[in-house]
Structure 1
Amino acid sequence: MSEATESSHEATLTTTHEDSRAVAAALAPDNTDAMTTSVDGEQVRTTIVREDAGGLAASVDDYLVNLTVADAVCETARDTTQP
């Protein structure tokens, strides 16, 4: 991942999930080189660095859509596999 510079913009998003590792794994294929994701307990933390604010906003928007889907899929899988 490229590091933030004076001319770049950065956002860090932290979300909590019952199965944080599965959510992070589901997001991984869609992450770009401008993103880093880590898991700490129930939290998924993703940092996005982009050269311009518009690109950052678009990347955050895409990430949030992917996150919503990943969380829903993981929740559905968990609910259908538990007795």
Structure 2
Amino acid sequence: MPDRPAKGPASYFPSIEKTYGRAVEEWFALIRAQPEQKHMALVSWLKEAHGLGHGHANALVAHVQATDKREAKKT
């Protein structure tokens, strides 16, 4: 069975890695290390501190927050 194309925020991940030279896992760790957890504050921080474009920053934050929310429900 062929691999399915990524959907949602994950569809941006190959472009993010290519454009900024960091694995998405590194971006996830940076986001999780920030004391501010509001979505748009994190997006702004990624744009200002790391030069990410809005769409890329938004995709990373959305993915991290959705993943963390799912994990929290499991416990």
- TM bin, normalised by shorter chain, reads 0.3 to 0.5
TM-score, normalisation: structure 1? 0.36
Q: Which has the larger radius of gyration?
A: 1
Q: By percentage of residues, which structure has more helix?
A: 2
Q: By percentage of residues, which structure has more strand?
A: 1
